[in-house]
Chains A and B, each alone.
Chain A
Amino acid sequence: MRALILVLLTLCFPAAVFSQPAQHLKAELLSEIPSLVPGQPITLGIHMTMDSGWHTYWQNPGDAGLATSVVLKLPMGFHAGKMLWPIPQRITLPGVTDFGYENEAMLLIPVTVPKNLKLGESFKFTAKIQWLVCKETCIPGEAKLTIEIPVGSVPVSTSPYSLFAKARDNLPHRYPAGVVPVIGTLDDHQFQLAVRGLPVQQAYFFPLVPNQIDNTSTQALQTTPTGFTLTIKRSDQLLANVQKLDGLLVVEGSGKRNGYEISVPLSQTK
C-alpha cells in the first residue's frame, strides 16, 4: 500500500520540472517518465511555447534567423543520442522564407541510462538552451534548465505523457527506416526529385544544408504514373555542384502531414 501511494505521488509530480519564462517564449525541460529504471533509456524533451505570431527555428533556419541550440550536461554514465527535431513549417515573410515553428516546439533527446543505479538515488540533468524568437523583430534568449529524476521502479509503459506522444507523432520518419525511393538530378538551374509511391496533395523539400536551394521559390509538384516529381530552384549561392541532397521531404495527403528524412545522390544533367 505504501509503495502504491509513493508511486501515485510520483505520478502526480511527474518530474522536478524547471522552466524559465523569457520574452515571448517559455522553455521547459521535461522527462517522458517520472523515474529512472536501471538500463532503460529515457527521453528528455525541450518544450518551447511561443506567444502568438512568434516563431523559433529549425536546424536549418532558412533565409534568416538562427537554429535553436541545446547543450546537455548529463550525470556520469548517461549518454545522449542525436536530438530529434519536429517537422518544421515554412514561414514566409516579404522576400525571405524561414524554416521553423510557430506556437510551440518540442525537441526530443533520447538518453541511455546505466544499469548500476540504486533506489534512493536521484540524478540531475541540465540543458543550456539558446534560441532566437522572431515576429516583426527578433529577440535572442537563453535558459539553463535543470531536472532531477529519482531512481524508481515505475515501468516505462505506464506513463504515456501526452506532450511526448504528440511530439513523436510530429517527428519525421527517420532515414533509412522511413526510406522513400527518390531519384535526384541537378543542373545549372534546378534540382529535381522523382519520388515513387507516395500519394500526395502537397509536397515540400526542406534542405538540411543552407544555400543549396532557393528557399523562397515555389517547388513545382507534378504527379506521375508512379508517384510525383518536385522541381526546386537552385540557390544562386550554390557555386559548385553538390553530390547529394539531404533534408526532409514533407508530404501532405489524406489530411496527414508526414516527413521523411532523405539523402539523395544526385546525377548531374545539362
Chain B
Amino acid sequence: MKRFKNGLLVALGILFLSLSTLAQAAKVGEAAPNFTGTGSDGKTYNLSDFKGSWVVLEWHNQGCPFIKSQYKGKMQKVQGKWKAKGVKWFSVISSAPGAEGSVTAVQANADAKQHHAHLTATLLDSNGTIGHAYDAKTTPHMFVIDPNGVLVYNGAIDNAPLKDDKVATNDDGAAFVNYVDQALTEGMSGKTISVPTTAPYGCHVKYSN
C-alpha cells in the first residue's frame, strides 16, 4: 500500500510537472522555462545552474540556409564577443530523428568545430521538449535570459535574413541590427532592452509530428 501510495504521489508529481511545463510559455519579462538538456559533450545542463550568468539559446539546424548564412561568420562573431564576457551560449537542436538538422553528438561536435562556433554546449533536443517549452519556431530563433533567470529577449537574430557579414543596411534600407548583441549590450549595462521581441525568421524547426 505504501509502495502504491508512493507510486501515486510520483505519478501525480509527474502530471503536475508536465502540466506546469505546458502552462509555462517563454514570455519576455517572466521566468524563462527551466530545462534539463543533454549536451553533445555528454554532459547534462540545467538552466537553473546558470543563475548569475547571461544565457543565450540559439535554435540550430545545420541544413537550414539561414543557419548556413549566419555561420559564414556573423553568428560566430557575436558568440565569440559575448562568450569572452562570460555569456553562456547554447545552440539547441530540436530536429526530430531523421528530419533535416538531426545529428548525432559526434556530428554536432564536428559541425561546431568546423564552423569555429563559440558555444558553451550544443543541446540535443530531438524530442522537442526544450523547443516546445520555449515555443521555438525557426532556426535561428534566439532567446536571451538575464542572470536572474528572466527571459529578456525572444525573436530573430538580426534584421537582415540571408545577408552576409558586411551589410550596413538591410533590404528595407534600415540600419543593420543584431538584436541579440543589442539586448546583451543594453542588458549588461543596466539599460532597458529597447527591442525585447521581434518576429523570428528562418526555417521552421523540424519537430516530430
- Contact call B205/A211, Cβ cutoff below 8 A: no
Interface assignment of B138: CB less than 8 Å from any CB of chain A: yes
- Which residues of B sit under 8 angstroms from A137, Cβ to Cβ? 63-64, 100, 203
- Contact call A136/B100, Cβ cutoff below 8 A: yes
**B167 to nearest A CB, angstroms?**
14
- Which residues of B sit under 8 angstroms from A134, Cβ to Cβ? 203-204
Residue pairs across A and B with Cβ atoms less than 8 A apart, 19 shown, are: A63-B138, A64-B137, A64-B201, A64-B204, A65-B203, A93-B204, A94-B207, A94-B209, A95-B132, A95-B204, A95-B205, A96-B137, A137-B203, A211-B155, A236-B135, A237-B154, A237-B155, A237-B199, A238-B197
- Contact call A139/B29, Cβ cutoff below 8 A: no
Contact of A239 among B28, B66, B205, B208 (CB under 8 A): B28
Once bound together, how far apart are the Cα atoms of A94 and B128, in whole Å?
A: 11
Once bound together, how far apart are the Cα atoms of A96 and B138, in whole Å?
A: 9
Chain B residues proximal to chain A, CB less than 8 Å: 25-29, 63-66, 99-100, 128, 131-132, 135, 137-138, 154-155, 161-162, 171, 196-209
Once bound together, how far apart are the Cα atoms of A61 and B138, in whole Å?
A: 12
**B86 to nearest A CB, angstroms?**
27
Interface assignment of A74: CB less than 8 Å from any CB of chain B: no
Once bound together, how far apart are the Cα atoms of A139 and B25, in whole Å?
A: 30
- Contact call B138/A64, Cβ cutoff below 8 A: yes
B63 closest partner in A (C-beta): A137
B202 closest partner in A (C-beta): A64
- Contact call B161/A63, Cβ cutoff below 8 A: no
Task: State which size class the interface on A falls in.
Answer: 20 to 34
Within 8 A of B (CB), among A130-151: 132, 134, 136-140
Chain A residues proximal to chain B, CB less than 8 Å: 61, 63-66, 69, 93-96, 98, 132, 134, 136-140, 210-211, 236-239
Once bound together, how far apart are the Cα atoms of A138 and B63, in whole Å?
A: 9
Once bound together, how far apart are the Cα atoms of A140 and B202, in whole Å?
A: 11
Contact of B204 among A63, A140, A238 (CB under 8 A): A63
- Which residues of B sit under 8 angstroms from A98, Cβ to Cβ? 204
- Which residues of A sit under 8 angstroms from B99, Cβ to Cβ? 136
* Further pairs besides A95-B205, A236-B135: 19, Cβ < 8 Å: A61-B201, A63-B204, A64-B202, A65-B201, A66-B162, A94-B209, A96-B138, A134-B204, A137-B63, A137-B100, A137-B203, A138-B203, A211-B197, A236-B25, A236-B26, A237-B28, A237-B155, A238-B197, A239-B196
- Contact call B203/A95, Cβ cutoff below 8 A: no
- A140/B27 contact (C-beta < 8 A), A64-B201, A94-B207, A95-B205 known: no
- A136/B197 contact (C-beta < 8 A), A96-B137, A236-B135 known: no
